[in-house]
Amino acid sequence: MPYITTSDGTEIFYKDWGTGQPIVFSHGWPLSADDWDTQLLFFLQHGYRVIAHDRRGHGRSAQVSDGHDMDHYADDLAALTAHLDLHDAIHVGHSTGGGEVAHYIARHGEERVAKAVLISAVPPIMVQTEANPGGLPKSVFDGLQEQTATNRSAFYRDLAATAFYGFNRDGVEPVEAIIQNWWRQGMMGSAKAHYDGIVAFSQTDFTEDLKKITVPVLVMHGDDDQVVPYDDSAPLTAKLLQNGTLKTYPGFPHGMPTTQAATINADLLAFIQS
């Protein structure tokens, strides 16, 4: 299986399929590159080169003790793009991966980047602060850490079966295979990485990152997102971007790239080809 080794000795697993203009996918917490399989196959069939990596401590990447923060996430992504010598790349990030993409572009520059897409993404900042009164209280994320530390397997099963995909909404039929695949991906990863990652995705302030980005960015978000609430994320992100476009999906859940893949893939393709 293909791996790169970062400057601090961490092995990062990645998938690299096809030829053509590269599309690089960054997954959400606590998942892996496998969460993008529907998108990878779709864009592969449309003539693109598709790349997705497992974030450090996630999936098949090394379960290292340290570096579970946005600086390291962005630097690992930069190491991958340099190793593959990618140019004119489109970067697509879901949830935590959206923060990773924004931080990567702002931290490492746009020389290799053509466009970006932030899907159900955590920027500008999730936690409630004086500057972000609409955010979620820190106690919410403290609770996620406690459940990760004490009851991870059951917690992951419950999250996938409820809020992540909106399976707790009236009239929405849970899909057991999707729930089990989410749980499988989560349990492949490191409890330490997932525990620390909660701080990374909830407390990192991406405001200045977003202001620096000049390439076209599509911001895609469901207004029934129960994980990253819509009002305090996507509209604020789009306003901070120099060249951002907001696309809102009525009733769509946080995990909409999976449950609403046909819609999301078509809109991604239209943006990439525009």
Catalytic residues: 95, 225, 254
Distance CA 31, CA 37 (A): 12
Torsion of CA 157, 159, 163, 164, to 10 degrees: -90
Partners of 111 in the β-ladder: none
Q: What is the CA radius of gyration of the chain?
A: 17
Distance CA 178, CA 111 (A): 37
Residue 263: other Cβ atoms inside 10 A: 14
Partners of 24 in the β-ladder: 51, 91
Residue 220: other Cβ atoms inside 10 A: 26
Q: Is-contact 167 179, C-beta < 8 A?
A: yes
- Indicate left, alpha or beta for 88 from its phi (over 0: left) and psi (-120 to 50: alpha): left
Show the tokens assigned to 134. 């609409």
Phi, psi of 260 (to 5 degrees): -125, 40
- Residue reference for tokens 């397997």: 153
- Residue reference for tokens 């779709």: 42
Cβ contacts of residue 219 below 8 Å, gap of 6+? 117, 118, 121, 234, 237, 238, 241, 244, 245, 246, 247
